[in-house]
Structure 1
Amino acid sequence: MGRLSRRFCLAVGVSLSLLAMTQGQAKTVKLSPDQLKAVAIQDLQLGQPERALRYSDALLKRDDQDVMSHLIRARALRDLQQFGTARTSAKTAWSLSETKAELYSSSRTMAQILSSQGHRTRAQWWLRRAVEHAPDERATQQAIGDFRYVKARNPWLARISFSITPDSNINNGSSERSSFLNYRLSEIIAGQPVDYQLPGTARALSGIEYSLGLTTRYRFSETPTQAHDIIFTADVRHYTLSSSAKALAPNAEGNDFAFASYTLGYGHKRINLDRRGEFRTVFDIGQSWYGGDEYARFARLSLGQSYKLQSGNRVNLRVSGEKQDGITRSDSDTVRTDFSYTHRLQSGALLWTNVTGAFATSPLALDEFHELGLRAQLTLPKKVAGATMHLGLWARKRNYDFSPHHRDGRREDRVQADLTMVFNKVDYYGFNPTMRVTASKTDSNISLYDAKRFGVNFGIQSAF
């Protein structure tokens, strides 16, 4: 944490007495409040909090509305490990603060007290306040540096995301009006495949998605090369239907498509390969709900290894497996492998590429599949309209060997493009607004699974 800045020592003028010894005789020296505050701050810097506390008490007897005197007192009490009264003084200073400089100094002082007491998560919130009220860029960077320092030493880490997304297909329904369904039954009844009209809930329904995500971890053990974490995640999504969707499916409600998933797990990270690599293990268990009903329980294991090349580029390999115990769907086992490469281009742009392969087995044949996917994301080196811009492309081919709707099984080709903008110049308490535009299309040999989707996501993310 930084020291109290001398520039906050300007205050109302009154005179107080300081007793000094000169040539063996007592002598009274007249000091103004500004001078006495400067002496008190110097005492704090020299490790004399008792004396600084006495001076601050004397200053407050003359003017109990003086912000700087309360801050000196709070800092002295913190150094004396009297954290409760130190917080009280810092809160008083905050409540009396009027200028940005006073609000900034009060916030940093409170954060320092909380961090010293071990309340680092609360300290991070007060440092966000300091960033919000920083009087200049130098002060902003000081508060951000303090935030990162506290964050690195906080065993608790939480990431919260919230977004609102107008979406053309909230239920992942078909973009077609009709489809050939159950070719065997159709041949028995009609002697040939029959094109059935799809019900409203099977077709694409537009609406708005409200999404809330939480990831929090507690680091219960850490060394310079290893870390052990307990991790909890939550993903909750609710929907409202548009008027056109209600006309298409009058009996449907947005809550019919609501989704929620909660997981609890263990994570381990270890630095290896001459400190160029990092090995990661994550194991978690969880449960999901769909439409308000239990959907599935699952257990997942993920192993990953990253490595930083001499060029500064990074490669990453991950292998994961998931065992799903279906409640309203079938059981399944899925294995997935990902390989990614991150490369800094000569222009300064950052290119991330990924190839993934997966296969799933299940007692229900129509849920077994194998897939191959390719992804790429380009982060532009310069801001566009004051925003950091990310451009993404994704293509996936998935095949199901069996389908009741087609003799050759089910084939799906999906492509997606997205554009994400992070508005760095718009900052509130260290959070930036984001906008993400996504368009995707799924082509299948069974029109039931043909889908088009377009969405605009508005969210927030931490700036540091």
Structure 2
Amino acid sequence: MATQKGKISVLKKFCPWVIGFAVVMALSSGQALAQTTAAEIQADAEAALVSGDPAQTVILANQLLEDNPDSFAALFLLALAQSDLDLPREAAASASRAYRAAPSEETRLQTARLAATAHFRAEQFARAEFWFRRAANHIATEEDAEAIVRGFQRAREANPITTQYTASIAPSDNINDGSDASRLCFENLDGTCFIELDLREDQLALSGLEYNGSASIRYRLSQTPRQTTTIGGLVFGQGVVFSDETETLLSESESEIVRDLEPSDFSAFLAQFSLEQQQTMFSPLGPTRIAYNYGRYWRGGDLLVDYHDLILGQIVPFEGGRSLALESSVRQQRAQAPGLIDSTIYDLSGSYQWRFDNRDVTTLTLAGKYNDASEESTFVEYRLRSDYAIGRQIFETSWSTFAEIGYRSFDEFSSTLDGRRDRFARAGVTAVFEEISYFGFSPSMTLFASRTDSDVSFIDSSKVSLSFGIASNF
């Protein structure tokens, strides 16, 4: 942390508050001291702090607290004095007590900021992040918000541990990514069907409710001006709730397997470990990213596959807030359930990002994938995606959108004689309602739609969902 010589007294940041509390806070100091005596001691404590004698302020503040342990003015003065005496842990504890005694939103904001700053100076970065989020509950101006965000980001950058959580729930007309068609067609050379079979009910698009959540943690193993190395873990879970229509459809099926299906059979779970290093010594263009992932994926409680990813990325920054990100990866995926096959998946993508003067951000991504598996499962895929985030709030709400189109081609496919070709599109818009905020989190809403059109009819599918979740404002 900063040396004593370079340390800027916390008093300079909070001095206007100290002077302003002189008489008003004396009224809340309790009745054990005579009102005039308490006001005089408080005034002497403030004067000592302003004149550069924080040790005397500590003595006088403790004198006030002997008769009124919940005196906000005494606790706030004590926290400021302890901070000036380079006692950040003690200052954080006193600021925490002052926060609980604070009489207004404005004083809660200041004491929460003081507690966060003290924890930061004590290198208790996770606690600092918590108190900056708590301070966000009391912001009243744009300047307050910017100060809280800057403080939180400093604490997060300094913290070797980073955590992130997501959660959402979404009504959907296709919770299982099922087919829009009802029959499976085996084609002749002329494209007509020589055999048609009814699809099982669980292969059709089923309506209901999707819910999911994820948690990730990253730990910075080492950091120098030329490299950063981190390890991390990720877990993701997804479940569904059948609609009445879906329950009726499945229960009336002629297949006993379908009638016995439960929502848990459509659940999914993923667990992943990662190791990543970002280097600046390999390329003169900008940071180079090297990463390794190992993960396992379950469906309906059964382990389906495990995989190993090797990722290489290059970031090329330009003037004006523009940047180019290139990434290539290879995944070795091994089947762990009967009926599945091993595959090797190659991915290549390039993203160009613009940042505009009005703080809008747009990203254009071009990507390709090659899935090397059995003859009927090998395919090539191309995708073009555009993301746009609006930098300014509209009706106190932040907005972002995306749109994607793609093409997928199979040379061989089980039900055709000339392969398979899919065209797909996805789009979504997300609104984060930042006027509603708790600990720096706000409710969000995402409208998502997708459609796949294929020359194999039972591959055709569509989906519309409206998900509700939470998003961090920092």
The TM-score normalised by the length of structure 2 is 0.85
Per the alignment, do residues 277 and 75 of structure 1 end up closer, same or farther by CA in structure 2, a change over 3 Å counting?
same
Q: Deviation of residue 301 (structure 1)?
A: 1.1
Give the match for residue 239 of structure 1: 240
CA deviations 1:217-243 (Å, max 9, x no partner) are 111211223211111112111111111
Q: Deviation of residue 62 (structure 1)?
A: 4.0
CA deviations 1:379-419 (Å, max 9, x no partner) are 34654433233232211111122222111222211111222
Secondary structure at 2:418's aligned position in 1? coil
What is the CA–CA distance in structure 1 between the aligned matches of 2:417 and 2:185, rounded to whole Å?
11
Per the alignment, do residues 41 and 151 of structure 1 end up closer, same or farther by CA in structure 2, a change over 3 Å counting?
farther
Match of 1:42 among 41, 50, 54: 50
Give the match for residue 414 of structure 1: 424
Contact 2:358 2:392 in 1 (8 A): no
Q: Deviation of residue 49 (structure 1)?
A: 4.3
Give the match for residue 103 of structure 1: 108
Q: Deviation of residue 5 (structure 1)?
A: 4.0
Q: Deviation of residue 86 (structure 1)?
A: 4.9
Q: Are residues 1:112 and 2:117 paired?
A: yes
Q: Are residues 1:450 and 2:455 paired?
A: no
What is the CA–CA distance in structure 2 between the aligned matches of 1:390 and 1:123, rounded to whole Å?
29
Secondary structure at 1:427's aligned position in 2? coil
Secondary structure at 1:277's aligned position in 2? coil
Q: Which amino acid aligns with 1:116?
A: R
Q: Are residues 1:144 and 2:149 paired?
A: yes
Per the alignment, do residues 41 and 131 of structure 1 end up closer, same or farther by CA in structure 2, a change over 3 Å counting?
farther
Per the alignment, do residues 406 and 272 of structure 1 end up closer, same or farther by CA in structure 2, a change over 3 Å counting?
same
Secondary structure at 1:41's aligned position in 2? helix
Give the match for residue 187 of structure 1: none
Contact 2:93 2:115 in 1 (8 A): no
Contact 1:4 1:41 in 2 (8 A): no
CA deviations 1:313-370 (Å, max 9, x no partner) are 21111001111111122211101000111235688753311111111112x3322111
Contact 2:376 2:410 in 1 (8 A): yes
CA deviations 1:119-145 (Å, max 9, x no partner) are 211221111111212354444433332
Give the match for residue 424 of structure 1: 434
What is the CA–CA distance in structure 1 between the aligned matches of 2:196 and 2:250, rounded to whole Å?
20
Q: What stretches of structure 2 of length at least 5 have no aligned partner?
A: 1-7, 28-34, 252-258
Question: Identity of counterpart residues, as a percentage?
Answer: 24
Q: Are residues 1:376 and 2:386 paired?
A: yes
Stretch moving more, 379-388 or 145-154: 379-388
Q: Deviation of residue 257 (structure 1)?
A: 1.1
Secondary structure at 2:368's aligned position in 1? strand
Match of 1:338 among 346, 349, 365: 349
Contact 1:377 1:391 in 2 (8 A): yes
Alignment RMSD: 2.7
Secondary structure at 2:14's aligned position in 1? coil
Per the alignment, do residues 69 and 274 of structure 1 end up closer, same or farther by CA in structure 2, a change over 3 Å counting?
farther
What is the CA–CA distance in structure 1 between the aligned matches of 2:72 and 2:393, rounded to whole Å?
40
Pairing 1:383-402 to 2, within 5 Å after superposition: 383-402=393-412
Give the match for residue 359 of structure 1: 370
What is the CA–CA distance in structure 2 between the aligned matches of 1:317 and 1:228, rounded to whole Å?
20
What is the CA–CA distance in structure 2 between the aligned matches of 1:438 and 1:340, rounded to whole Å?
22
Contact 1:380 1:389 in 2 (8 A): yes
What is the CA–CA distance in structure 2 between the aligned matches of 1:365 and 1:88, rounded to whole Å?
66
Q: Deviation of residue 55 (structure 1)?
A: 1.8
The TM-score normalised by the length of structure 1 is 0.87
Contact 1:104 1:135 in 2 (8 A): no
Secondary structure at 2:341's aligned position in 1? coil
What is the CA–CA distance in structure 2 between the aligned matches of 1:208 and 1:192, rounded to whole Å?
35
Per the alignment, do residues 346 and 149 of structure 1 end up closer, same or farther by CA in structure 2, a change over 3 Å counting?
closer
Q: Are residues 1:52 and 2:57 paired?
A: yes
Per the alignment, do residues 6 and 63 of structure 1 end up closer, same or farther by CA in structure 2, a change over 3 Å counting?
farther
Contact 2:48 2:56 in 1 (8 A): yes
Secondary structure at 1:32's aligned position in 2? helix
Give the match for residue 264 of structure 1: 273
CA deviations 1:140-161 (Å, max 9, x no partner) are 4333322122112111111211
Contact 1:71 1:109 in 2 (8 A): no
What is the CA–CA distance in structure 2 between the aligned matches of 1:55 and 1:324, rounded to whole Å?
68
Contact 2:308 2:331 in 1 (8 A): yes
What is the CA–CA distance in structure 1 between the aligned matches of 2:410 and 2:427, rounded to whole Å?
24
Contact 1:40 1:56 in 2 (8 A): no
Contact 2:432 2:442 in 1 (8 A): yes
Give the match for residue 160 of structure 2: 155
Pairing 1:7-46 to 2, within 5 Å after superposition: 7-8=17-18, 9-10=21-22, 11-12=25-26, 14-16=35-37, 32-42=40-50, 46=52
Stretch moving more, 120-129 or 141-150: 141-150
What is the CA–CA distance in structure 1 between the aligned matches of 2:163 and 2:274, rounded to whole Å?
15
Match of 1:127 among 125, 132, 141: 132
Stretch moving more, 241-250 or 449-458: 241-250
Secondary structure at 2:271's aligned position in 1? strand
Give the match for residue 20 of structure 1: none
Q: Which amino acid aligns with 1:161?
A: T
Per the alignment, do residues 306 and 126 of structure 1 end up closer, same or farther by CA in structure 2, a change over 3 Å counting?
same
Give the match for residue 217 of structure 2: 216
Q: Are residues 1:405 and 2:415 paired?
A: yes
Stretch moving more, 114-123 or 220-229: 114-123
Q: Are residues 1:436 and 2:446 paired?
A: yes
Q: Are residues 1:289 and 2:301 paired?
A: no
Secondary structure at 1:133's aligned position in 2? coil
What is the CA–CA distance in structure 1 between the aligned matches of 2:74 and 2:180, rounded to whole Å?
68
Secondary structure at 2:237's aligned position in 1? strand
Q: Deviation of residue 15 (structure 1)?
A: 4.5
Secondary structure at 1:411's aligned position in 2? strand
Contact 2:92 2:116 in 1 (8 A): no
Contact 1:40 1:72 in 2 (8 A): no
Secondary structure at 1:365's aligned position in 2? coil
Contact 1:240 1:253 in 2 (8 A): no
What is the CA–CA distance in structure 1 between the aligned matches of 2:450 and 2:42, rounded to whole Å?
65
Secondary structure at 2:415's aligned position in 1? coil
Stretch moving more, 343-352 or 445-454: 343-352
Per the alignment, do residues 432 and 406 of structure 1 end up closer, same or farther by CA in structure 2, a change over 3 Å counting?
same
Give the match for residue 26 of structure 1: none
Per the alignment, do residues 400 and 438 of structure 1 end up closer, same or farther by CA in structure 2, a change over 3 Å counting?
same
What is the CA–CA distance in structure 2 between the aligned matches of 1:248 and 1:382, rounded to whole Å?
46
Contact 2:173 2:464 in 1 (8 A): yes
Contact 2:422 2:452 in 1 (8 A): yes
Q: Are residues 1:254 and 2:263 paired?
A: yes
